[in-house]
Amino acid sequence: MRWRRDWPEREPRPKVQSLSKEQKDQILGILKAGIDSSPVLSALNIRARCLRGRFYIERLWP
């Protein structure tokens, strides 16, 4: 015997929108300013960069 599965319809995901160059630079500037203002993140050598339309926050190894 199976349980009744009357699940509500799932809402579709919003369509992907690509950011303009100015929007990417603005977001990246905010990320870099936040990292620079944080003593912990700057001591851990954390950096932010934008590659292939994605934002990466990574740690630099010596």
> Distance between CA 26 and CA 28 in Å, rounded?
5
> Distance between CA 1 and CA 25 in Å, rounded?
57
In whole angstroms, how far apart are CA 8 and each of 19, 51, 54? Answer: 33, 38, 33
Q: Where are the domains of the chain?
A: 21-59
- Residue by residue, pLDDT tens for the chain (62 residues) are 567 778 788 899 999 889 999 999 999 999 999 999 999 999 999 999 999 888 999 998 87
Does the pTM of the predicted model rise above 0.75? no
